[in-house]
Amino acid sequence: IMAQTEDFYFQYKKCNFVSSIYTREHLEQLELFEIRDSDVFVVTYPKSGTVWMQQIVSLINSDGDPTEVQNTQAHKRVPWIEVPPSNFQLRPSPRLNVTHLPYHLVPKELKEKKGKVIYVARNPKDVIVSSYHFHNHLAFYESSKDFSDFLEKFIDGALEFSSWFDHVREWYNHRDEFNFMYITYEEMKKDLRASILKICSFLGKHLDNEKLNTVLELCTFNTMKVNPMANYEKVPKKSNDGAFLRKGTIGDWKTHFTVAQSEMFDRIFQEKMKDFPLSFVWDQE
């Protein structure tokens, strides 16, 4: 059991960062990164489909050639820009990136419509459950007392990258400032082929049917789960409760939320997201 430590997170411009991973210096510097038109940024609140999209953009970029996804770790192929040290400025084009940053902390030049942003959102109840297991599983996070304690922290925006509600709403509200595409985890679950085609079209790429089938096969949960270059099995763990690729389903929240917790969450969701025009999918169809 880990103790609650006051300096586990630090705040940078109203956003929480894990002190053992991130630095203010790097966060300051990355806002000034020079962006190229060919840069791609996959943006997510944690546990919304980051690693899945890392795999998809890698394979679209390689025209379906599996060599890279079978030989290079995902975080090397498609690094998180906020994790120091970063060699962002030295990498050859096209640079594929992921980030959990809120919209106001990303490189400023992205708002001049340089580069492309793919925003992936997931229904927040499943995000909470995925994140809960992730915090219990990985060595570098603080565990919560129980699910209810974790739920409270999530709602309060007290975890890393702060509020889910703000993250999704603000990115979406500011979408016109970026070359922006929005997609959901549930849409990808429902029709991965159509989702990949939508991403191809946004990235200006074309895959013939054979290549599309290869990409599809290499992006399924079962294939990724056993691919050591995609499943993050090397990240230090504190327990065997879960895995980075844990379940990969829609609606696992139902086995974690009590009816009262679910109703409480729905009320808060409706209040905080009342002006948000898009809906979420909460159940497997």
Catalytic amino acids?
100
CB 123 within 8 A of CB 250: yes
Could you identify the residue written with the tokens 């844990």?
246
| 48 sits near ligand PPS (criterion: CB under 6 A) | yes
Q: In what order do the strands lie in the sheet with 40-44?
A: 96-99, 40-44, 116-121, 180-184
What is the H or E stretch that residue 182 is in?
Answer: strand 180-184
Is residue 245 a contact point for ligand PPS (CB under 6 A)? yes
* 252 lines the binding site for ligand PPS (CB under 6 A): yes
Q: What is the C-alpha separation between 235 and 192, in angstroms, rounded?
A: 27
Work out which of 190, 247, 256, 272 binds ligand PPS, going by CB under 6 A.
Answer: 247
Number of residues that this document lists for the chain: 285
Taking CB under 6 A as the rule, does residue 233 contact ligand PPS?
no
Nearer to ligand PPS, 155 or 245 (CB): 245
User: DSSP assignment, residue 51?
Assistant: H
Find the binder of ligand PPS among 88, 140, 221, 282 (CB under 6 A).
Answer: 221
Least gap, CB of 122 to ligand PPS (angstroms) = 8
107 to each of 36, 44, 121, 200, 271, how far by Cα in Å? 11, 15, 20, 24, 31
Q: How many residues belong to the site for ligand PPS (CB under 6 A)? A: 20
Closest CA to 162 of 243, 241, 111, 105: 105
- The CA distances from residue 151 to 28, 58, 99, 161, 270, in Å, are 30, 33, 23, 15, 16
Contact call for residue 78 and ligand PPS (CB under 6 A): no
Shortest distance, position 72 Cβ to ligand PPS, whole Å: 17
Choosing from 111, 175, 238, 246, the residue that interacts with ligand PPS (CB under 6 A) is 246
Going by their DSSP bridges, the two strands 116-121 and 40-44 should be labelled as: parallel
Query: From the CB of 42, what's the least distance to ligand PPS, in Å?
Result: 9
Site string for ligand PPS, 167-206 (x = CB under 6 A): ----------------------------------------
Quote the DSSP letter at residue 138. B
Give 92 or 236: the residue with its C-beta nearer to ligand PPS.
236
Q: Does 248 engage in binding with ligand PPS (CB under 6 A)?
A: yes
For residue 50, state whether it binds ligand PPS (rule: CB under 6 A).
yes
Alpha-carbon dihedral angle through residues 185, 18, 225, 39, given to the nearest 10 degrees: 60
Q: Return the residue of 52, 141, 178, 180 that touches ligand PPS, per CB under 6 A.
A: 52
- Contact flag: residue 143 with ligand PPS (CB under 6 A): no
For ligand PPS, the binding residues in 18-47 under the rule CB under 6 A are 44, 46-47
List residues near ligand PPS by CB under 6 A.
44, 46-52, 126, 130, 133, 219-221, 224, 245-248, 252
